[in-house]
Amino acid sequence: MSTVDLHTLTGAYALHALSEDERGAFERHAADCEACTEEIRELAETAARLALAVSAVPRPELRARVLQRITTVRQDAPRTVPPPRSARSAARARGLSRWALAACVATAAALGGTTVWQHDRAQDARQQAQRAEQRTDAVASVLGAPDARTRSAKLADGARGTVVVSKSLDEAVFIASGMAEPPAGKVYQLWFDDAGTMRSAGLMDPGRTTEAVLMEGSVDGASGMGITVEPAGGSAEPTSSPVALMALPA
Instruction: Give a three-class secondary structure readout of 198-210.
Output: EEEEEECCCCCCC
Phi, psi angles (nearest 5°) of residue 123: -60, -45
Going from N- to C-terminal start, the domains of the chain cover 3-51, 148-247
CA distances to 93, 94, 97 from 89, in Å: 6, 9, 12
Q: Is 57 left (phi over 0), alpha (psi -120 to 50) or beta?
A: beta
Question: Angle, nearest 10°, between helix axes 34-51 and 20-30?
Answer: 120
Range with the lowest mean pLDDT among 13-17, 118-122, 148-152, 246-250? Answer: 118-122
pLDDT digits (tens, 9 = 90+) for 59-72: 666 666 666 665 66
Contact criterion met (CB below 8 Å) for 203 and 187: yes
CA distances to 160, 167, 191 from 152, in Å: 7, 17, 16
Closest CA to 228 of 174, 195, 191, 183: 191
Q: Which residue has the higher pLDDT, 170 or 67?
A: 170
pLDDT digits (tens, 9 = 90+) for 41-90: 777 776 666 555 544 555 666 666 666 665 665 555 555 555 555 555 55
Distance CA 245, CA 228 (A): 9
Give the pLDDT of residue 54: 47
